[in-house]
Every structure is written in C-alpha cells, then in structure tokens.
Amino acid sequence: MLALVASVVLGVYYLHDLFVSWLMGQELNLKLQNIQGVVIFGSLLAVYTFLLRTFSRLTFSSFHLMRDAEEREQLTYLYLALSQEKQIDESSRSIVLQALFSRSETGLLTSEGGPTMPGVGEILKSATSSK
C-alpha cells in the first residue's frame, strides 16, 4: 500500500512539474516535438500505469486475504464450540469444513475461481467409519 501511495504521489509530482515547465515554455530534457520524444513519454506513461495497476491489485488482494483469514478464524471458533457441545450434525459439519478448507481467491488472476475443496465429505466418512 505504501508503494502504491508513493508511486501515485511521485507520478503526480513529476507530471505536474513537467506540465508546468512545458506551459512556461522552458527547455525540457524530453522533446515532445519529435517521434522519439513522444515514444519515450508514452513508454514512461505505460510503465507508470502498469506499476500503479500492479500495486493496487496487490494491495486489494492483501486486504481481501486478510478479511478471508478473519472469517475463517471465526468459523473455526464456531465449529469448535459446536463440536464441544455435540450440537453439530453431519451435514452442518460437512458445510463448515468445506468452507474452512476451500480455496481463497486472491484476485490477482482473472480465471482463479475454484470450487470448494473436493473430497471433504469422503474424508469425513472414512475418518468416522474407521473409529
């Protein structure tokens, strides 16, 4: 998040400085009158945009995973409380365990959607039948 904020602040500062210098008619190191200057300026803007997008995705992914971990922690406490009081039936237990052990989506990949953890029901049945 700090990298995102720093890159936004630095980018705005340098673009503002470049724009003000251009408006005042000062000599710029980057000549926008020829093709080479335009290509260099466009490349710098593309890299800056890519960095902003990457930093924002990483930041929001971290927030999402933090929230997911908090929810799983509460779900674990609920499961343990119900198990201790013997008030949980097999279908509720399966639902809670599937929610606990399902994949977390980070949001970094576009086709990341994954199903809940397969085979939890079979593992539970084999564990209870072996007792």
Question: What's this model's pTM, rounded to 2 decimal places?
Answer: 0.57
Q: How many structural domains compose the chain?
A: 1
**Closest Cα to residue 54, out of 43, 66, 42, 62?**
62
Does position 35 have pLDDT exceeding 60, yes or no?
A: yes
pLDDT single digits (tens) 41-97: 788 889 888 988 888 888 888 888 888 889 889 888 888 887 887 777 777 777 777
Whether 94 and 120 have beta carbons less than 8 Å apart is answered as yes
Give the residue from 70, 116, 69 showing the smallest Cα distance to 96: 116
Instruction: Note down the domain range covering 96.
Output: 2-129
